Structure 1
Amino acid sequence: MKLSRLLPYIFAVTLVSCLKEKTTVAENTTETEKDTVLRIAQLDIKLNKVSNAYKNAKGNSIEHFYKKLWPKNDLSGGFLVAKNGQILYENYGGFANRTAKEEITSQTPIHIASVSKVLTAAVVLKLIDRDKLDVDAKVNSLLPEFPYEDITVRMLLNHRSGLPNYAYFCDDRAIWDRKVLTNQDVLNLFAEHKFNLYFKPDKKFGYCNTNYAMLALIIEKVTHMNYRDAMKKILFEPLGMKNTYVFDYDKDRSTASLSYKGNNVLYGFDFLDNVYGDKNIYSTPRDLLKFDLATYSKKFLNPKLLKEVFQGYSYEHKGTKNYGLGIRMHEWESGEKLFYHNGWWHGNTSSYVTLKKDTVAIIALSNKFSYKPYKVWKLSPLFGHYPIKPEKDEDLLE
């Protein structure tokens, strides 16, 4: 066999073996444990076990919040709150497939929409941590077809590239004929049309799904694997995220959890449903908790790089909102910081909140369109001094 054909396998074995030295899932992990759903061996995650009194007190408060947010218990998805990796409260409801009456449980993968960006960023950062990739490398040094000279990997991660949104220019039938779009198609369209940037690279923040579609291609280029396999081998398998996968348009449409409008009408798939990196990861609250817990380990990412993840890069405008490397944040004058990412794709809405100072994760996933998952961050004052002000529903979109 030629060396070129062996390269993907050599890289995968080398990288995954390195990861498994540090992120082996302990044999005594059980998915049914209510207090602790994850014990990752050799990650040196030193978080205290919460007392029963703490769990009961906080659990009661969270349950009160849940019943106020979902008064009819009409959650169609999953909701979980954990402290130190130990679940304080969780609830699941609704159907993954209403026609088949397939109920959503703790093991049902749901489309997490733009929370996928957090996981895409994590794999990019792992490649950076392993010296397989430079965070300030120019994108066109990795993807030669990419026509923009000054855009770097960091600018894709923190949404400062100025790239136009592929969903907008591909909606023009003169540019794209509405056949199923791929990440490579997006890159090819850039090479062909050289669309104008929205702004000069690194001038300001501009949230754009295209950034993460390009990062997925970079992952493929560096690892010599397709994005689905790279995510599985580098992140999902080492962390025991057994119910997490990247949607395959050709294979998974008949089995994946479906999404619904607010009136329960089915949201069909469309020509944008084969682009990944920015979306298209299906997961569960418990699996996302596993990921969150891993981020407290110095062996998951080195502390210097982790510090770059959780810092703001866009201060052109006053206010508390900012964006790190694959994570949104609020930074208050008091010094408090709250990190999160929301998502919205078709009828799926999602929210991942991580309170690093208080080692708390708040996760809500819904496959029926609702603003309610975006409101779970309002639980934050239960765990720390977060000066949260009420916001309108439309202000909480991703």
Structure 2
Amino acid sequence: MKRAEIPGLSIAIINDNELAYHEALGLSNAETREPVDSRSIFEGASLSKPVFAYFALKMVEDGTLELDKPLYEYLPHPGIAPESREEYKSVTARMVLSHQTGFPNHAKGQAINLAFKPGTDFLYSGEAYQYLAAVIGVQKGVGTGDALNALLKKEVAEPLLMEHTSFVWDDYLAAHKVYGHDEDGKPTQNRPGPGGWNGKTFNAFSSLHSEASEYAKFIIAMLNREGLSDATFEDMLKEHTHFKDDNPLKQEIGQTGWGLGFAQKRTPEWTMHLHTGNNHDFQSYAMFIPEKRYGLVVFTNSGKMVPFLENLSKILGPQF
């Protein structure tokens, strides 16, 4: 942490499919010197996506939606550019979870122009995840706020004993969320505010709040295949998107493709399922290797997680 200049950290290591190590270390606020503790909550950023994918697959299993039925048939998207309105009608939940929709990562209020015919290429998209959340919200009659969060808690967080994990703001988060920190190590924020997430919207792609020991329960469920049928787990963890050689993620990180929710690094001996989260002043990471019965979860309150993972890899072996 000192080498990487990380103020605060929540870390969990899973070995033999069980929690083997958990620590909450450092500072919640580098100026006030308030410490991180076992109750401290961090922003998960895009670690939201694997949890939401697991939730969406539960919705498939209970008949709320079909993986390969066009989402347009459930809920037409109101923000598609005219030139993409026919092609987008083929977008399915499977394409959303494996990032094959052609949607941009974030539309930022602009009309959505598809980058390619859905199902033919890869483009990471939080925007598509939010579309799927809206579909589930409509199908369940709960919208995309507190009621959708309550449904996810009922279906995912409560069965996995993730008591304080939430996609919307609540009193526990208000009492225990740590501060983010900018590149200079200065505290930024620890609650919803103007110009950012309002705390009320369920952002399937980014608004999860948690800490390492709770998120590790989700990773252990992946390793033990809990909460979904074997057939659904096979579908979730197989490769749906195979990266081309010129894919930046393959060139820079070594990722080889994507399943339904997790990125993947495949070798002849094992597959690492992984996901990063980056809200700039908060960064997070989770991975697991079923063949090794091993996993790692890291939450930080700064934008300097990658150097930390690189240092950790020198001690524990490749983690990223």
Where do 1:104-119 residues align within 5 Å? Answer: 104-119=36-51
| Aligned residue in 2 for 1:365 | 299
Deviation at 1:380, TM superposition (A): 9.9
Is structure 2 residue 73 aligned with structure 1 residue 156?
Answer: no
| Equivalence for 1:323 | 258
- 1:309 maps to 236
With the length of structure 1 as denominator, give the TM-score of the two structures: 0.66
What is the CA–CA distance in structure 1 between the aligned matches of 2:313 and 2:299, rounded to whole Å? 16
User: Quick check: 2:256–2:266 contact (8 Å CA) kept in 1?
Assistant: yes
Q: Write the letter of the residue equivalent to 2:228.
A: L
Deviation string for 1:66-114 (max 9, x for gaps)?
xxx6558855121121213433333322333456644212221110110
Cα drift, residue 295 of structure 1: 2.4
1:142 aligns with 2:66: no
Q: Secondary structure, in 3 states, of the residue corresponding to 1:169? A: coil
Using the TM superposition, give the Cα deviation of residue 312 of structure 1 relative to its aligned residue in structure 2, in angstroms.
1.5
Amino acid at match of 1:104: V
Q: Considering Cα pairs closer than 8 Å and 6+ residues apart, tell me whether 1 or 2 has the greater RCO.
A: 2
The answer (yes or no) to whether the contact 1:135–1:153 under 8 Å persists in 2 is yes
State which drifts further: 369-378 or 334-343. 369-378
Q: Give the deviation of 1:308 after TM superposition.
A: 1.1
Q: Distance in 1 between matches of 2:38 and 2:5?
A: 16
Q: Which of 266, 269, 285 does residue 351 from structure 1 map onto? A: 285
Note closer, same or farther for the CA distance 1:265–1:381 as it changes in structure 2 (3 Å cut): closer
Number of positions where the alignment pairs a residue of Structure 1 with one of Structure 2:
293
State the partner residue of 2:180: 259
Aligned to 1:198: 115
CA contact (8 A) 1:312 1:324 kept: yes
Range with bigger deviation, 203-212 or 220-229: 220-229
Q: Check 1:85–1:379 CA distance in 2 against 1; reply closer, same or farther (3 A cut).
A: farther
Name the residue aligned to 2:16. Answer: 84
Give percent identity, aligned residues only. 20
Match of 1:220 among 133, 137, 140: 137
Residue equivalent to 2:153: 232
Q: Counterpart amino acid of 2:178?
A: S
Following superposition of structure 1 onto structure 2, how do residues 153-192 of structure 1 map, counting pairs within 5 Å?
A: 153-166=93-106, 169-170=108-109
Q: Which has the larger radius of gyration?
A: 1
- Distance in 1 (CA, whole Å) between partners of 2:171 and 2:10 is 26
Q: Structure 1's 145 and 314: CA in aligned 2 closer, same or farther, altered over 3 A?
A: closer
Tell me the distance in 2 between the aligned counterparts of 1:309 and 1:223. 22
Offset from partner CA, 1:39-86 (integer Å, 9 cap, x none): xxxxxxxxxxxxxxxxxxxxxxxxxxxxxx655885512112121343
Which amino acid counterpart does residue 153 of structure 1 have in structure 2? A
What is the TM-score when the length of structure 2 is the normalising length? 0.81
Residue-by-residue CA offset, 1:234-283 (whole Å, 9 max, x unaligned)? 11112111121123399967864321113222335453414510011111
Three-state SS of the structure 2 residue aligned to 1:234 is helix
Q: 1:254 to 1:295 in 2, by over 3 A?
A: closer
The residue aligned with 1:286 is 213
Give distance in 1, aligned partners of 2:159 and 2:241: 33
**Alignment partner of 1:342: what SS?**
strand
Which residue type is aligned with residue 271 of structure 1? G
- Residue 241 of structure 1 corresponds to which residue in structure 2? 162
Q: In the TM superposition, what are the counterparts of 1:378-389 in structure 2 within 5 Å?
A: 378=313, 382=317
Q: Which runs of 5+ in 1 are unaligned?
A: 1-68, 176-192, 383-387, 391-395
Name the SS for the 2:183 alignment partner. coil
Q: 1:123-134, aligned counterparts within 5 Å?
A: 123-134=55-66
Unaligned runs of 5+ in 2: 81-87
- Contact 1:228–1:246 under 8 Å retained in 2: yes
Query: Structure 1 residues 296 and 163, CA, compared in 2 at 3 Å: closer, same or farther?
Result: same
Contact 2:7 2:27 in 1 (8 A): no
